[in-house]
Amino acid sequence: MSPSASDLHAPHPSTGCSSALPLPSGPFRPKAGLLTARAFDAMALYDQRLERYLTLNPVATRIWELLSDGHPPAGIADRLCVEYAVPREQVTADVAAQIATFMHDRLIEPGTIVHGIRLAPGAAAYSSDGAVSPSATTGSVTARVRVPSVLRCEVTLARIKCLLQIRRFEGTIAWIRARVENIPATATVGLKRVRECEYAVAMAGALYPGRAKCLEQSLTLYYLARRQGVAVRYCQGMQLYPFLVHAWVEYQGQVINDVPEHVKHFTTFPDQLP
């Protein structure tokens, strides 16, 4: 589980705030690097830059969704008046207070919503670390997967842990992404082979001096598999009640380093790695 419980934060409550707080004109947009996951009528946000989780109550969740869709604060107040059937004065005060909280917690910034997709750069060949050297930028390839030794898994695990300490989570994700995004991924590798890789990583985690959490082990497994062109998926999710966060790896829709009965209790954040 990562970050630890000491990294958890909650937004300030907005109900009962003074109506003297003016409603900003907007528009606003979420800051880059925020991941969201909704469970029932509440939401959790993960700020990669500060490595903190925040939970939103149902009203704050709805305000966040409307902001994310590009609605100005006045339009949000209008929508909430209809959806919750409450007086405009009360809604205006709550929306103004919640937006002020979002600004205080550095979750949003002035600006419009830009809908677009950033295309990945062209593929490049890799010659080290067991990576695949693609001959084309599209289409699937058949990877010859070698099960890493426990020693190599330990070295990679130590490297990931060091990166998390020095570059923090966002920098570690960027480091891994830069080394795998240009490697074509294939789903033609047998599930048994991928599970053998997971076993090697699990053994390294068990023998590693100090604790290797689910985050470090999942990033290590993802990195070692994707460097060989295996289309594994890094997953990070949350459970609201009680609040828990978890990381795991999937392949061909199958959970690799956990059990489905445990993972099903978590709502996943958007994918952070290719």
pLDDT of residue 118: 32
Q: In what order do the strands lie in the sheet with 254-255?
A: 254-255, 244-251, 232-239, 267-268
Model confidence band, residue 141 (pLDDT cutoffs 50, 70, 90): very low
Q: Which amino acid is at 31?
A: K
**Dist. CA 229–CA 193, nearest whole Å:** 13
Output the CA angle 226-262-255, nearest 5 degrees: 25
Q: In angstroms, how far apart are the furthest CA atoms of the chain?
A: 65
Q: How many CA atoms lie within 13 A of 235 on its CB side?
A: 22
Say yes or no to pLDDT of 189 above 60.
yes
Range with the poorest average pLDDT among 102-106, 189-193, 239-243, 257-261: 239-243
In SS3 terms, the chain reads as CCCCHHHEECCCCCCCCCCCCCCCCCCEEECCCEEEEEECCEEEEEECCCCEEEEECHHHHHHHHHHHCCCCHHHHHHHHHHHHCCCHHHHHHHHHHHHHHHHHCCCEEECCCCCCCCCCCCCCCCCCCCCCCCCCCCCCCCCCCCCCCHHHHHHHHHHHHHHHHHCHHHHHHHHHHHHHCCCCCECCCCHHHHHHHHHHHHHHHHHCCCCCCHHHHHHHHHHHHHCCCECEEEEEEEECCCCEEEEEEEECCEECCCCHHHHCCCEECCCCCC
Q: What is the mean pLDDT of residues 40-61?
A: 88
Instruction: Report helix angle 88-104 to 73-84, nearest 10.
Output: 130
Q: What is the mean pLDDT of residues 152-177?
A: 94
**Dist. CA 229–CA 258, nearest whole Å:** 22
Q: What confidence tens digit (pLDDT) does each residue in 200-226 have?
A: 999 999 888 877 789 999 999 999 999
Domains of the chain (ranges plus CATH)? 5-110 (3.90.930), 150-268 (no CATH)
Q: How many CA atoms lie within 13 A of 267 on its CB side?
A: 17
Q: What is the mean pLDDT of residues 103-120?
A: 68
Answering whether pTM is above 0.85, one says no
Give me the sign of the Cα torsion angle 116, 121, 123, 126: negative
> What is the rounded (10 degree) CA torsion for 194, 197, 201, 204?
160
Q: What confidence tens digit (pLDDT) does each residue in 240-261 have?
A: 888 889 999 999 999 999 999 9
Q: What is the mean pLDDT of residues 38-62?
A: 88
pLDDT of residue 123: 36
